[in-house]
């Protein structure tokens, strides 16, 4: 048997850039609507508001801040939707998403973000990644019966 000379402290550890995001939903009228904004990195792509967790800030506080900064919207926290990981330009990111129930529009959002509300089926089709679509579907299913009425049926899977 051959022994390794590598000490535990030298073992390569996967480092993630920690982020938090917001899945904002309007539930006060049917059909329910989901908020998406344009990505900074890929401006032709719609995403949920998200950003880096600042020192001393909780993930939920970051999600709330990003919702307000990027989309100009405030919301009441409902709970945690889930977490995803992704890689972009050689960096690895870990994003925890929180669900917020829309309360009001504060301003028009960050320039170039074009916040828009979509019925779940439209939002699902616009989101670029499977993991994000799964989070949306999980969030919508938690909102209760009757949600998928009126043509808002999300794809199976």
Identify which of 76, 70, 63, 84 has the alpha carbon closest to the alpha carbon of residue 135.
84
Is the pLDDT reported for residue 35 higher than 90? yes
Average pLDDT on 14-23 reads 94
Q: With contact defined as beta carbons under 8 Å apart, do 88 and 122 qualify?
A: no
Report the percentage of the chain scoring pLDDT > 90.
Answer: 75
Average pLDDT on 95-113 reads 97
CB atoms within 10 A of CB 59: 18
**Residue 70, C-beta contacts closer than 8 angstroms, at least 6 positions apart:** 37, 49, 51, 109, 110, 113, 115
**Residue 64, C-beta contacts closer than 8 angstroms, at least 6 positions apart:** 22, 74, 75, 77, 98, 100
**Burial class of residue 35 in the structure, from the number of CB atoms within 10 Å of its CB (0-12 exposed, 13-18 middle, 19+ buried):** buried
Task: Write the DSSP string, 35-66.
Answer: EEEE-SSSTTSEE--EEEPPTT--HHHHHHHH
Could you tell me the residue ranges of all domains in the chain? 15-142
Q: What are 43-91's pLDDT values in tens digits? A: 999 999 999 999 999 999 999 999 999 999 999 999 999 999 999 899 9
Is the pLDDT reported for residue 9 higher than 80? no
Identify which of 83, 82, 102, 105 has the alpha carbon closest to the alpha carbon of residue 94.
83
Give domain 15-142's CATH number out of 3.90.79.10, 3.40.50.1970, 3.30.565.10, 3.40.50.20. 3.90.79.10
Confidence of residue 10 (pLDDT cuts 50, 70, 90): very low
pLDDT at residue 30 in the model: 81
Q: If you ran DSSP here, which 8-state letter would residue 19 be given?
A: E
């Amino acid at each position: 048997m051959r022994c390794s000379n590598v000490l535990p402290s030298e073992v390569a550890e996967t480092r993630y850039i920690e982020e938090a995001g917001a899945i904002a939903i309007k539930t006060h009228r049917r059909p329910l609507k989901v908020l998406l904004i344009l990505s900074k990195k890929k401006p032709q792509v719609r995403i949920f508001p998200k950003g880096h967790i600042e020192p001393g800030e909780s993930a939920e506080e970051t999600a709330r801040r990003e919702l307000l900064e990027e989309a100009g919207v405030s919301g009441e926290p409902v709970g945690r939707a889930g977490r995803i990981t992704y890689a972009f330009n050689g960096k690895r990111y870990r994003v925890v998403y929180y669900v917020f129930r829309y309360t009001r529009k504060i301003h028009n959002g960050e320039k170039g973000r074009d916040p828009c509300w979509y019925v779940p089926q439209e939002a699902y089709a616009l989101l670029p990644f499977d993991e994000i679509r799964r989070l949306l579907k999980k969030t919508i299913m938690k909102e209760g019966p009757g949600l998928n009425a009126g043509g808002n049926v999300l794809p199976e899977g």
